[in-house]
Amino acid sequence: MIKSWLQSYVYEPVLTKKDIKSSKKKKGARASNWRKVLGRIWKIVDEQRGLLVIVLLMVILSSILSLLGPYLIGKIIDDHMMKGEYSGLKEMIFGLVLIYMGLSISIFLQNYWMIGVAQHTVYQMRTGLFSKLQQLPIAFFDKRQHGELMSRMTNDMDNISSTLNSTFIQVFSSVLTLVGTVVVMLTMSPFLTFLTMLIIPIMFISTRWITRRTGKLFKTQQQALGALNGMIEETISGQRVVKAFSQEQRMIDEFTEKSGYLRRVGYWANVYSGAIPKTMNLLNNSSFAIVAGVGGLLALKGYVSIGTIVVFAEYTRQFTRPLNDLSNQFNNVLSAIAGAERVFAIMDEEEEQDQGKNEAKHTIQGDVKFEDVSFRYDVEEDAPTISHINFHIQKGQTAALVGSTGAGKTTIMQLLARFYDSQQGKILIDDRPIQTMSRQNLRSQMAFVLQEPFLFEATVKDNIRYGQLQATDEEIIDAAKKANAHDFIMSLPNGYDTFLTADGGEISQGQKQLLSIARALVANPSILLLDEATSSIDTVTELAIQEALERLMKGRTSLVIAHRLNTVRTADLILVMEEGQLVESGMREKLIAKKGIFYQMLQQSTL
């Protein structure tokens, strides 16, 4: 029964002998990483140097006052109470009250100001992390769960914040109190000080044994929490798919497995970390008992005074308390370091390389060429995703990309927008390699209308304005009218000021698409990238969208992933993709006459 209970909590990959041996081998590297992480945090903390100095002065003051209190109590006992001398006793008691009032005030002020330092530090880190995420390439987000990234932004940051709020003051205060207490104790009784010191080696050995295990567990706990958050975010976002395919139980089972793993890791992390204060309390009480017993015998023989024993017993508490606090804070530091390490890992990711980022903005005409372009998402893969692609779309033309799923159509769009850069060949716009253009300049003159439009939690007006932040209200309304969206917008409760929740849950799929077209229109782009968005829309809405798309594409270079025959009929150029290769290209009539792959697609009604 006991074995079964243990097996329900022990998760072998967490604490196997192999893991322990591995952690011993990597001990030096891990310590070096901790120092590096702490050094980076300190650089941000140091920005608040002035406030930090005030906090440290308050800590020094509180440490001095905490030492003066017991000393004054001893003087009251020896000089007044034991001798029956009450002259000046009121003044001593009043002084004692002032000391403890000053101690309380200094502790309040140091905590108050330290919270400001901690919040500024976390603000800087959170802002830096969010800014970094905006600079990372699309490939980074394609390989990671969004919920896991959100966990770094929230849970890991909260860990760092709570640790900074308390740990910095606690560590500095504990060190000062420890040093001050030892000095005062030595002046009072070196022998009793020696007895008190006997617990230090035991404390050190026990704490070291425990923390060697908690470090790995806290890091694993943060990783498990990030994975669980990623799964939750993914499940909530895909709730319609989960219900449509009746996969509720499978998702519950998967969640139970991940949550169970987090429970087991968290269980052992807290079991080990929780053992520290219990061990320290045992050693504290043992030390107190030894000092009280031996001190009592010494007092009976007249070697020390009663006041000295009382003061020494209090100082023994003050001596062991900082050691206990330092041990407890060490667990918090381990957890915060694990979180900070995950945050800094993102901040150290390589940003998008932009050779032309300093160029002056110039207007793109829209002449597009692919010359022998090959690309693979994973450079270690043998087969490229697309291979030796060549085509030319003249300014103002519409090119339709057709082909089966996985043929490489979306990849071509992503390369043109420089979400990825090709490993071979050239992509030119207006006879200029796009690698020499600023990504911001390039994308600011492109517009995207995707099959699954995305709307922000904002007003209808702000969602359209996202295409051009400087657009006036009149320009937004004009774009909405051209997109056939104005009528349905005016039927909403507050018209253009209607607030949409996350991803526009209050409106239909077709209405979302009309808003995304209006967003593209207000951007007034030179090049359009369209993943034709009428495949899951009713017939009436499809006609409205098709009409809006025709207005949007007029006079602009357009690259369209075609799902419907209508788009193919009106295209100036058809590009037929198959298994990453461009197998046919040309006008519709020419390809039909050729009776090749495109002709077969028409015969099989795959368009």
pLDDT in tens, 325-339: 666 677 677 778 888
Strands 386-393 and 368-375: antiparallel
Handedness of CA 475, 476, 480, 481 (dihedral sign): negative
Inform me whether the pLDDT recorded for 50 exceeds 80: yes
Local structure of residue 80 (DSSP, 8 states)? I
Name which of 99-103, 410-414, 539-543 the model is least confident about: 539-543
Query: What number is the average pLDDT over the span 133-151?
Result: 80
Inform me whether the pLDDT recorded for 570 exceeds 70: yes
Inform me whether the pLDDT recorded for 485 exceeds 50: yes
Q: Which residues of 110-146 are buried (b: 16+ CB within 10 A; e: fewer)?
A: beebbbebbebbbeebbeebeebbeebbeebeeeebe
The whole-angstrom separation of Cα 534 and Cα 549 is: 10
Q: Would you place residue 25 in the very low, low, confident or very high pLDDT band (cuts 50, 70, 90)?
A: very low
Higher local confidence (pLDDT), 36 or 428:
428
**Under a CB-based contact definition with an 8 Å cutoff, are residues 314 and 73 in contact?**
yes
pLDDT value of position 138? 82
In the chain, the domains with their CATH numbers are: 38-347 (1.20.1560.10), 368-603 (3.40.50.300)
Q: 235-277, pLDDT tens digit by residue? A: 776 776 677 667 788 888 888 888 888 888 888 877 777 776 6
pLDDT value of position 240? 65
Higher local confidence (pLDDT), 536 or 390:
390
Give CA separation, 53 vs 60, 162, 176, in Å. 10, 20, 15
**Under a CB-based contact definition with an 8 Å cutoff, are residues 399 and 567 in contact?**
no
pTM of the model: 0.67
Strands 398-403 and 386-393: unpaired
Neighbours of 85 (CB within 10 A): 10
The whole-angstrom separation of Cα 288 and Cα 303 is: 19
**Under a CB-based contact definition with an 8 Å cutoff, are residues 92 and 68 in contact?**
no
The whole-angstrom separation of Cα 374 and Cα 386 is: 5
pLDDT value of position 3? 42
What values do phi and psi take at 348, rounded to 5?
A: -95, 0
Inform me whether the pLDDT recorded for 195 exceeds 80: no
